[in-house]
Amino acid sequence: MPAAYDEIKTMVYKAAALAGALLEQWSATPAAPEADLIYETEQARREWQLARSYFDTVTDPDLIDFAIYNLKAAERRYTYLLKQVRQGTGEMVENDKHIRFPFTV
């Protein structure tokens, strides 16, 4: 085998070992429960936005019922998680740059 192949192979193994070590360190650090809740709330907000977009674009009568159900479920989940964040932090968070309402109702 050419020497260049062996050098590349060695570099790949070293990079994999470094990535493995970094992943072990990262996974060993416990995340704060508040960070998980905020992340989940952000995900729920995005799901709510997607449900709203889907509702705005659907035209098939059979899918309109699904779009309404999906939009209401996403909105309720987001509202519930937002209340959980408010109770945990004790402050209003809709003006926060990380958690915000996607549109005015």
Q: Are residues 14 and 36 in the same domain?
A: no
Do both 76 and 98 map to the same domain?
Answer: yes
Structure tokens at 36: 């998980």
Q: What is the pLDDT of residues 21-40, one digit of tens each?
A: 777 766 655 556 667 888 89
Q: What is the pLDDT of residue 68?
A: 93
Shared domain for 88 and 41, answered yes or no, is: yes
Same domain as 16, residue 39? no
Q: Do 20 and 57 fall within a single domain?
A: no
* Residue 76 phi, psi (nearest 5): -65, -40
Longest pairwise C-alpha distance within the chain: 67
> What number of other Cβ atoms are within 10 A of residue 55's Cβ?
18
* pLDDT (tens digit per residue) in 6-23: 777 777 777 877 777 777
Task: Answer yes or no: do 66 and 93 share one domain.
Answer: yes
Same-domain status, 56 and 100: yes
Question: Would you state the structure tokens that stand for residue 37, as one six-digit string?
Answer: 């809740």
| 49 and 19 share one domain | no
Cα distances (angstroms) measured from residue 51 to each of 17, 27, 31, 70: 42, 32, 29, 6
pTM of the model: 0.55
> In the structure encoding, which two tokens stand for residue 25, read together?
């360190």
Total domain count for the chain? 2
Domain limits for position 61: 32-105
